[in-house]
Amino acid sequence: MDIKKENEYCHEYSGFEMMLVSATRQIKKNDLIFNAFHWPFLVVHMARLLHFPNLYNVIEIGIIKDELIDPPKMPYSISDPVLVPSSLFI
């Protein structure tokens, strides 16, 4: 698809937003996800919020998340304490 047609079709969303949604759709039920930080983290979080709340997520530093946390903010790094609410430090 050329850029002009793409801009006409999805003028409400940026290419980055469309990429996140597309990547979220690739995740299937009962998948075990090993992901890195930044946009892959957003993709997994979106998949858990929209489709699969019981998705198992293994973050690159070894944190295994099987519950959906509701952090007060998005984490700034892979070792941000909001990823492990019950911890004193990481």
Q: What is the structure's pLDDT at 3?
A: 53
Task: Give the span between the Cα atoms of 64 and 23, in whole angstroms.
Answer: 20
Q: What is the structure's pLDDT at 1?
A: 41
Task: Give the span between the Cα atoms of 65 and 59, in whole angstroms.
Answer: 8
Phi first, then psi, for residue 65 (nearest 5°) are -110, 120
Which token pair is 85? 């609410």
Contact 36, 14 (CB under 8 A): no
Q: What is the structure's pLDDT at 38?
A: 81
Please state the pTM of the whole predicted model.
Answer: 0.63
| Residues in the chain, pLDDT under 50 | 1
Contact 63, 83 (CB under 8 A): yes
Q: Which residues have CB under 8 Å from 56's CB, separation 6+? A: 31, 32, 33, 64, 65, 66
